[in-house]
């Protein structure tokens, strides 16, 4: 499966806690998925949501545990979703797939901002594992 040359933005919703179904996600790869090529996409999530739940999540891109043989190249992944009445978490990349699921990751830009923008420790560890295993060349992670 190849997803390429897209501009995804203006996704709306009330927010949700289940990243695999109802949460605001730009590109969602579910299981079973293998041989996934994601090239030259721009995902910009920048909506305001109003939900009092504290478990809301959103992601520019999401990979399920069953995703494999992933090539992620030349993408811009931005998440600035903000919950104006509750607390939430906004990820540029959210992966339940292990680092070994990624064949190549190269030349992507990751950006989060606002009070919900996070690069949680285990997400950063995933990215560092990928970097250390030589599956990248020029990743850029932007912290606000």
Integer Rg of the chain from CA: 14
- Is residue 109 within 8 A of residue 143, CB to CB? The reply is no
Supply the pLDDT for residue 27. Answer: 96
Lowest mean pLDDT among 13-17, 116-120, 123-127: 123-127
CA distance linking residue 73 with residue 41, whole number of Å: 9
Longest dimension (CA), the chain: 42
What confidence tens digit (pLDDT) does each residue in 8-64 have? 998 887 778 888 888 999 999 997 889 999 999 999 999 888 777 667 889 999 999
Could you tell me the pLDDT band of residue 112, with boundaries at 50, 70 and 90? confident
What confidence tens digit (pLDDT) does each residue in 60-110 have? 999 999 999 999 999 999 998 888 887 788 888 888 888 888 888 888 888
Q: Tell me the two tokens of residue 69.
A: 């043989």
Mean pLDDT over each residue of the chain, to the nearest integer:
82
pTM here? 0.84
Supply the pLDDT for residue 56. Answer: 85
Supply the pLDDT for residue 55. Answer: 77
Task: List the one residue out of 95, 87, 88, 31 whose CA is nearest residue 60.
Answer: 95
Supply the pLDDT for residue 103. Answer: 86
Of all residues in the chain, what percent carry a pLDDT higher than 90?
32
Task: List the one residue out of 6, 13, 30 whose CA is nearest residue 90.
Answer: 13
- Is residue 140 within 8 A of residue 108, CB to CB? The reply is yes
Supply the pLDDT for residue 8. Answer: 97
């Amino acid at each position: 499966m190849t997803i390429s040359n897209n501009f995804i933005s203006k996704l709306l919703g009330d927010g949700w806690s289940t990243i695999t179904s109802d949460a605001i996600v730009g590109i969602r790869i579910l299981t079973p998925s293998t041989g996934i090529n994601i090239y030259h996409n721009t995902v910009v999530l920048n909506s305001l949501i109003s939900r009092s739940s504290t478990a809301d999540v959103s992601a520019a891109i999401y990979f399920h545990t069953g995703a494999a043989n992933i090539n992620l190249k030349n993408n811009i992944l931005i998440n600035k979703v903000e919950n104006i009445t509750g607390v939430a978490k906004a990820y540029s990349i959210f992966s339940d797939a292990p680092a070994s699921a990624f064949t190549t990751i190269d030349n992507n830009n990751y950006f989060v901002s606002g009070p919900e923008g996070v690069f949680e420790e285990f997400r950063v560890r995933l990215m560092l594992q990928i970097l250390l295993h030589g599956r990248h060349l020029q990743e850029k992670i932007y912290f606000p």
